[in-house]
Every structure is written in structure tokens, then in C-alpha cells.
Structure 1
Amino acid sequence: MSFVPTPPTSGPAATAPGVNPQRRLAAQPPQTEPRGFVLYVGLDEKKAAAAGIDLGRLVTELKKVTSELAPAAETHAAVALAPVGAGGRDLEVVRLAMQDPAALSRYRGETEKTPTDEGVIVDISRKRVVLDGETAQLTYKEFELLQYLVLREGRTIDRHELISALWAEGVEHEGEVPNERTIDVHVRRLRAKLGAYEEIVRTVRGAGYRFDRHADVTIRYASTPSPDTF
């Protein structure tokens, strides 16, 4: 939310340099008042370690700064837990894990979009894909392939990982021993069925495949992970 300044009232706080106690949230409903704020931080342990810190210490330092700037403030911190290998931007994963209403609404598809609207709905909970209001006729394997990429949004997945993850014991149900060509064929068929939205499954030359979210793509998840507390 953005802040819209209003004229300060009288009193010590009103005259303090750079301080305006009467700032009002632009989207603040009537008869409400700010009582604190939430700061989402998208950062995993590897990135924290690369920066020479860990999440626990970072939380401690942020609490310390808050205490120094506002001694009366009460603080509570929780670490966001997500499934190993979950794709997507760190910040969005954190918002989803922390049950942020806007993030939950978007990821569950509870937006102004309906199945009759234009766009793509990848419904993980119901194992289906809806294209412009029509259910796409994907095979089980095609949906599993798309789902694997969706759950690792933004990360390029190589063909060997896809074979290992989607073909148990390295053998497909038709008896075919899967190889890189098997993956390419399934991706080609999947993209053909996605039609005008085929570009959500990107080919990364020499590396593999990646799911890229567009503005007209909605993902519906079955559930959200729960956070743990520091």
C-alpha cells in the first residue's frame, strides 16, 4: 500500500523532522487505523549464505533496528516454509506461505476471471487445464509434465530430470524406454494442445524447458504450506 500524507496535527511528533503521524494509507477503509505492518522478505538460505548471513540473524537484526527506532513496538517473525523445489519468485512463495490474502486469491484463481473468460487456468487441484473457457484435452502424462514445470515456475528443467521424475523406473506405460526424444515429443504435443498459449512452456536451447507465467495465466493450487515461527 502507498501512503498519502495529510497535514500534521499539533504535538511533539508533528514537529519532529521527517515525521508525520497523520499519514493515511491510500486504500485504508473508513473507521480503521493502522496498527502495524507486515514486511515480506523473499530469501532462501543459500542466497542468505551467499550474502554472508542466515535467516535467523537477519530477523534478529531487523528486530533490533525496529526496537531502536520505535522502542514501544512489539514484533513477531515467522519463517515461510515451501515444498522443496517449489518454483516461482521467492517473494511470491513467501506471500503464499504466509497466507497473504492477495496472493491466495491470485493463486487459487479467485479473481475476476471465470472459466468463460479468455486466458489459461491450470487447475492443479482438479488436474485440468482450461483454455478460454474450454477444458483442454490433455493426456495424464501431458498434464503431469505441465504440472511439474508449473510447480517449478521460472526454473529451467532439463530432460533428464523430467525423465527421472515423470517416468517411474525409466519405463513408460506403453513399454517405451523414455529418452530425450520422448520428452521433446510430449512437450510438442502439449504445446500443440495449448494452442495460442503454447509459449507458457518455453524451450531453453541446450538446457531444457521452463514454465513462464503470463498475465493471462491463473494457477489454482490445492493447498498452501504453513509457516514456522522463529
Structure 2
Amino acid sequence: MIGEGYNYTILKEGYAYGTFYLPKFAGINPATGDAVFYTRNGELTEEFNTAELSQVIDKSYIPPYFGGISTDVSYKGITLSVHGAWAYKKYLFNDIRNIFTIPSIYQDANKSVEVLTAWNQPGDITEIPSPVRGKPSNQASSDRTLEDASYFKIKNVTLAYTLPAKLVQRAKISNVRIFVQADNLYTFTKYKGNDPEFTYPGGTDIFPYPNVTTYTFGLDLSF
């Protein structure tokens, strides 16, 4: 098992590289506010003993299906180019969400708004445990925040206009191209963390610097 630091994967014969190995989260006990997990026998327990718990072992941060798409359309000197990338059945462990949706740890840090739905009294139905400190199971990592990070990203859009040759040749210029370009324009995904395209070490999303959207305006001159 590769489970040290921020790595929650396992290297095992018959399974894809990058396969996660995490306890299966069963929810929050509405009577106590404590996290509940599945055991290897299919029973429920609040005791966090990894040797006894059932583990997720069918999801990897390396997608089995991925690709790209490109198209270029031109008309009377105007060219529109669009390039995209996609991945299907990719998973990431959203450790940022894991940390900031557990009320009993990092109490001096800003929390996710999800903690507003944390267990507060008997009968509450939620996936966020009680804010009471001292219960190891409530602070444990599990597949609660192992998320589908499949995505389709519009990586690049470029709109360009090439001036007519007869117009620019008078100025002894062979070609003039004006363009506007957008990179990392938009990502369609259900993933709640940062950029799902990014390759996080061990598939763990933990405080990375995300890809940013950039806009470029330019002028190409050829003499």
C-alpha cells in the first residue's frame, strides 16, 4: 500500500496503477453525530480500525478514457480555433474538502460552508460529523471525499482576423493577423475541488496552485 503522507493509493496485482485504497464511508450516525464505516463483513461500525474496514479499490486517479478535440473554421479572413480535452472515470481524493468540512480539526482556519450542515443534535441527517473533538473516526480520511473528477475542458479558443493582402502590401507588409486568445476557458465537471485536469501527486488534491484562465490580445506582422 502507498498510504504515507497525502497518498491514499495501493499498488496491487490486477488493479490499475493509481488505484485508491480508502475506507468506505457509510454516513453519520444520526443519534451520535459520529462517522460510520463499512466493515469487511458488510456491517456498520464507528470504530476506525483500518484492518477491519472495507476499502474502496476500484477507482483510480489515472483515467482509462481520455482524449482531445480540435476544430478550425475559416471564412473571409476570420478564423476560429477551438481546442478541448476530456477524461472519463477519473477520480481524485479531495483532501482540501476533507480537511475543511471536518469541524473538529483546523478550528482556527476558515471552513467550508458545508460545516453549517454538521451534526448538531440527535436526529440530524447529514454527511458532516459532530464538531466535538477527540473522536478519531470523525477526523479520518475515507471515500467521503473521493470524487468523480471526469471533465471536459475548453483549453483554448482563438479568434483571428487576417487583413486582406492587397491592403497590407501597400505598406510593404506581407501579412497582418490580429487575434484574441483565451486559455483554460471553462471546465465542465462535477468535481468540487480545483482543476480536475491537473495531475496531483498520488491523486490527492491538497493545496495546489490551479491552472488559471488567461486572455491574450496580439498582432502578428510578417514582412
The structure with the greater share of residues assigned to strand is: 2
Report the TM-score range of the alignment, normalised by the length of the smaller protein: under 0.3
| Larger fraction in helix | 1
TM-score (norm 2): 0.21
TM-score normalised by structure 1 residue count: 0.20
Structure with larger Rg: 2
